[in-house]
């Protein structure tokens, strides 16, 4: 136990301040003994009916509270802004950093000794982790868990992945609108977040790989009673972590981030993990670079056969053994001595974690795919780097030279992609500008550009697509993302014109615009920056301070750990 708990500064105070700190808390029926020096555990909740993936988290919070009481702590639940990926406009990523500020200031400004972070939908996990990392209290994550598998006419419906495929079938005339509507009701069968290895499942998996969650945090379905048992155990453990002074900075080490990169490759995780881990590392002060993802992850095989890279869904993954089985299967590719929130090493936690279904979780000797990690591309089109997920791409397109068909914005794309007169065929490279952190603003998930209806009808299923955008973790295709610097700040992407030739060579890690340097210099001289994408409010703060994708797209003034000290009282 640290010499003095942080909460003592509030609840042990004398005079008017102590009276105020305790008395108003008592209006909820809190007995005086709760202020006797027991650890105060904040439960940071992203519950919201506008975030359907997290709409069950009030019940999860109740389970955490039971665990906190069991261990002799005092739980206090507080809300922070929530981000519903499917609802919020213009894109949830715009607000990830805002939520992280909300979390950071809520933790620092209140009498908390430790924190349990309740998250689920995509951005809620990195946002809460980033905010907590900037405070450095004992911290533990409880994810909301994935939805149960839904079926449409007997076949599983993967959140996002199946929807993207069906949407293309509708555009190509292979599926009726009525059937599309019927499938909509089948997919979302229960509480929980996306049931594919999309960004939510990826980030929940990386919570385990980072050591920030209890074993099985990622895969227990939201509707499974064991999710509540895990939450109650997490509440207990949070109290113990305060007594052990086990702070987040002792867990989020360089080794932990390397473990997360390795696990992300093995599970076929989302490309969004790149920007989120870079931003989180920046908060806690761990040196991590874009190239680390390629260096540590590219040669790793895909061990998990889940959509969008494979066949199964998160419920199958749970029954097969989940993340503990994957970590065990990865053997010495994992830093097994890395510490976790349990107080034990990740190696000790997973040493006896069997795989119950080798079809879903493979061994290193029989992977789903070889060399499945995220590849980092560079070249004159992406001097700051760009990423591609080879496991979700068409192998024949991983080396490709094609004529660029350029869209200046998402509006331009929507207006022209299905134009029968658009000069495009399947050998072309679709290029989208203006969808980066500053340009959109907020770097939306539009990087998997829809293919032209005319080509879909001819049976084309994939094309090379390049942008400064992100892509949903549930999506797939030969899609180059996060191109940096982005077009809106004058990156080379801004200089691409219709008819230029672009060369993609994933094996060589090359993304090249085949235009002479002198011509590119001339175009750069003619380039004029677009008007700021936001006139005022938070969006203006964002566009003025957001970093590029290769630095995690955090706000420049939020990088770093500022600790939890607040020496001045409020009266
Ligand atoms: Fe919330 Fe996919 S929409 S996790």
CATH of the domain at 468: 3.50.30.80
Average pLDDT over residues 473-491: 94
Average pLDDT over residues 109-133: 98
Average pLDDT over residues 178-203: 94
State whether 24 and 91 are in the same domain. Answer: no
In angstroms, the CA 231 to CA 228 distance is 5
State whether 136 and 165 are in the same domain. Answer: no
Residue 358 lies inside a defined structural domain of this protein = no
Residue of 50, 126, 159 best suited for mutating to test ligand 1, as the one with most atoms within 8 Å of CB: 159
Average pLDDT over residues 297-317: 94
Give distance in angstroms: CA of 147 to centre of ligand 1.
10
Give distance in angstroms: CA of 122 to centre of ligand 1.
6
State whether 133 and 172 are in the same domain. Answer: no
pLDDT recorded at residue 533:
81
Residue 330 lies inside a defined structural domain of this protein = yes
Strands 385-388 and 375-377: antiparallel
Ligand 1, atom nearest to 159 Cα: 2
pLDDT recorded at residue 373:
87
Residue 175 lies inside a defined structural domain of this protein = yes
Residue 140 lies inside a defined structural domain of this protein = yes
Of the candidates 490, 483, 485, 486, the one whose C-alpha atom is nearest the C-alpha of residue 529 is 490
- Above 70 in pLDDT, residue 138? yes
- Above 90 in pLDDT, residue 309? no
In angstroms, the CA 174 to CA 134 distance is 50
In angstroms, the CA 63 to CA 59 distance is 7
Give distance in angstroms: CA of 81 to centre of ligand 1.
16
pLDDT recorded at residue 522:
98
User: Residue 135 belongs to what H/E stretch?
Assistant: none
Residue 563 lies inside a defined structural domain of this protein = no
Residue of 49, 56, 86, 124 best suited for mutating to test ligand 1, as the one with most atoms within 8 Å of CB: 86
- Above 70 in pLDDT, residue 3? no
The protein residue with its alpha carbon nearest to ligand 1, atom 3, reads: 85
Residue of 53, 91, 95, 204 best suited for mutating to test ligand 1, as the one with most atoms within 8 Å of CB: 53
In angstroms, the CA 330 to CA 15 distance is 57
Tell me which residue range forms the domain holding 103.
Answer: 38-148+194-350
Give distance in angstroms: CA of 501 to centre of ligand 1.
36
Mean pLDDT of the chain: 96
- Above 80 in pLDDT, residue 281? yes
- Using a 10 angstrom Cβ sphere, with 0-12 exposed, 13-18 middle and 19 or more buried, the burial of residue 253 is middle
Domain containing 290 — which CATH number? 3.40.50.2300
Ligand 1, atom nearest to 193 Cα: 4
Report residue 409's pLDDT band, with 50, 70 and 90 as the boundaries.
Answer: very high
The protein residue with its alpha carbon nearest to ligand 1, atom 2, reads: 194
pLDDT recorded at residue 146:
98
Residue 33 lies inside a defined structural domain of this protein = no
Average pLDDT over residues 458-464: 95
State whether 135 and 266 are in the same domain. Answer: yes
pLDDT recorded at residue 466:
98
- Above 90 in pLDDT, residue 549? yes
- Above 90 in pLDDT, residue 534? no
Q: How many structural domains are present in the chain? A: 4
User: Where on the phi/psi map is residue 505: left (φ > 0), alpha (ψ -120 to 50), or beta?
Assistant: beta
In angstroms, the CA 381 to CA 384 distance is 9
Ligand 1, atom nearest to 122 Cα: 4
Give distance in angstroms: CA of 541 to centre of ligand 1.
26
User: Which of the pair, 201 or 167, is modelled with greater confidence?
Assistant: 201
Ligand 1, atom nearest to 85 Cα: 3
Average pLDDT over residues 523-534: 91
Report the pocket of ligand 1 as residue ranges, CB < 6 Å: 53, 85-86, 121-122, 159, 193-194, 198, 200
Residue 565 lies inside a defined structural domain of this protein = no
pLDDT recorded at residue 11:
95
Give distance in angstroms: CA of 193 to centre of ligand 1.
5
Helix (H, G, I), strand (E, B) or coil at 51: coil
Give distance in angstroms: CA of 277 to centre of ligand 1.
18
Average pLDDT over residues 8-24: 94
Ligand 1, atom nearest to 474 Cα: 2
State whether 112 and 66 are in the same domain. Answer: yes
State whether 397 and 434 are in the same domain. Answer: yes
pLDDT recorded at residue 349:
97
Ligand 1, atom nearest to 53 Cα: 1
State whether 171 and 199 are in the same domain. Answer: no
User: Residue 157 belongs to what H/E stretch?
Assistant: strand 155-157
Reported pTM: 0.97
In angstroms, the CA 311 to CA 153 distance is 17
Ligand 1, atom nearest to 198 Cα: 2
Ligand 1, atom nearest to 52 Cα: 1
- Per-residue pLDDT reduced to its tens digit, 20-44: 999 999 999 999 999 999 999 999 9
Average pLDDT over residues 508-531: 96
Average pLDDT over residues 168-187: 90
The protein residue with its alpha carbon nearest to ligand 1, atom 1, reads: 121
- Per-residue pLDDT reduced to its tens digit, 42-53: 999 999 999 999
Of the candidates 33, 229, 52, 238, the one whose C-alpha atom is nearest the C-alpha of residue 132 is 238
Give distance in angstroms: CA of 405 to centre of ligand 1.
31
Report residue 160's pLDDT band, with 50, 70 and 90 as the boundaries.
Answer: confident
Give distance in angstroms: CA of 338 to centre of ligand 1.
29
State whether 274 and 382 are in the same domain. Answer: no
Give distance in angstroms: CA of 161 to centre of ligand 1.
12
- Per-residue pLDDT reduced to its tens digit, 262-274: 999 999 999 999 9
State whether 120 and 225 are in the same domain. Answer: yes
Domain end (from 140, 165, 187): 187
Least trusted range by pLDDT, from 178-182, 275-279, 464-468: 178-182
Rg for the chain (alpha carbons), in Å? 24
Give distance in angstroms: CA of 43 to centre of ligand 1.
21
Residue 206 lies inside a defined structural domain of this protein = yes
Give distance in angstroms: CA of 461 to centre of ligand 1.
24
- Per-residue pLDDT reduced to its tens digit, 439-454: 999 999 999 999 999 9
pLDDT recorded at residue 1:
60
- Above 90 in pLDDT, residue 207? yes
State whether 467 and 341 are in the same domain. Answer: no
**Locus of tokens 């008007």:** 531
Q: Compute how many other C-beta atoms are within 10 angstroms of the C-beta atom of residue 153.
A: 9
**DSSP tally for the chain: helices H, then strands E:** 20, 14
State whether 333 and 407 are in the same domain. Answer: no
Domain end (from 317, 350, 383): 350
State whether 161 and 304 are in the same domain. Answer: no
Q: What percent of the chain has pLDDT over 90?
A: 91
């Amino acid at each position: 136990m640290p010499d003095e708990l942080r909460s003592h500064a509030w609840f042990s105070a004398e005079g008017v301040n102590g009276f105020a700190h305790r008395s108003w808390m008592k209006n909820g029926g809190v007995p005086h003994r709760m202020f006797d020096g027991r650890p105060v555990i904040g439960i940071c909740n992203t519950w919201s009916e506008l975030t359907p993936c997290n709409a069950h988290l009030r019940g999860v919070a109740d389970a955490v509270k039971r665990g906190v009481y069991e261990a002799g702590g005092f739980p206090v639940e507080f809300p922070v802004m929530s981000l519903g990926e499917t609802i919020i406009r213009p894109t949830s990523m715009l607000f990830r950093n805002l939520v992280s500020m909300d979390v950071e200031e809520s933790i620092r400004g209140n009498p908390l000794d430790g924190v349990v972070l309740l998250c689920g939908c995509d951005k809620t996990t990195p946002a809460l982790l980033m905010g907590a990392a900037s405070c450095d209290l004992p911290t533990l994550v409880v994810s909301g868990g994935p939805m149960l598998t839904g079926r449409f006419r007997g076949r599983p419906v993967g959140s996002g992945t199946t929807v993207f495929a069906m949407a293309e079938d509708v555009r190509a005339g292979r599926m009726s609108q009525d059937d599309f509507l019927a499938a909509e009701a089948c997919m979302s069968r229960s509480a929980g977040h996306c049931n594919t290895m999309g960004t939510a499942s990826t980030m929940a998996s990386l919570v385990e790989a980072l050591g920030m969650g209890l074993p099985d945090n990622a895969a227990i379905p939201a509707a499974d009673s064991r999710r509540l048992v895990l939450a109650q155990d997490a509440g207990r453990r949070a109290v113990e972590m305060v007594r052990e002074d086990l702070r987040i900075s002792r867990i989020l080490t360089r080794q932990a981030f390397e473990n997360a990169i390795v696990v992300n490759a093995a599970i076929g995780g989302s490309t969004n993990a790149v920007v989120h881990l870079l931003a989180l590392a920046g908060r806690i002060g761990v040196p991590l670079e874009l190239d680390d993802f390629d260096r540590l992850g590219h040669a790793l095989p895909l061990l998990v056969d889940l959509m969008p890279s494979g066949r199964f869904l998160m419920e199958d993954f749970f029954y097969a053994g989940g993340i503990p089985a994957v970590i065990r299967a990865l053997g010495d590719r994992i830093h097994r001595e890395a510490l976790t929130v349990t107080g034990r090493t990740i190696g000790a936690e997973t040493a006896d974690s069997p795989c119950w279904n080798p079809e879903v979780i493979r061994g290193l000797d029989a992977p789903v795919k070889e060399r499945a990690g995220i590849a980092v591309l560079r070249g004159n089109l992406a001097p700051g780097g760009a990423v591609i997920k080879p496991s979700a791409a068409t192998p024949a397109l991983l080396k490709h030279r094609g004529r660029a068909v350029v869209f200046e914005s998402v509006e331009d794309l929507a207006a022209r992609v299905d134009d029968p007169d658009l000069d495009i065929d399947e050998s072309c490279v679709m290029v989208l500008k203006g969808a980066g952190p500053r340009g959109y603003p907020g770097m939306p998930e539009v990087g998997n550009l829809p293919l032209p209806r005319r080509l879909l009808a001819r049976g084309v299923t994939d094309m090379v697509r390049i942008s400064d955008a992100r892509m949903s973790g549930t999506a797939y295709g030969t899609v180059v993302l996060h191109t940096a610097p982005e077009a809106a700040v004058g990156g080379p992407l801004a200089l691409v014109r219709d008819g230029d030739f672009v060369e993609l060579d994933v094996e060589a890690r090359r993304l090249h615009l085949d235009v002479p340097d002198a011509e590119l210099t001339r175009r750069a001289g003619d380039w004029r920056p677009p008007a700021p994408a936001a006139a005022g409010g938070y969006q203006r703060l964002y566009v003025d301070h957001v970093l590029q994708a290769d630095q995690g797209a955090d706000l420049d003034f939020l990088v770093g750990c500022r600790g939890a000290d607040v020496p001045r009282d409020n009266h």
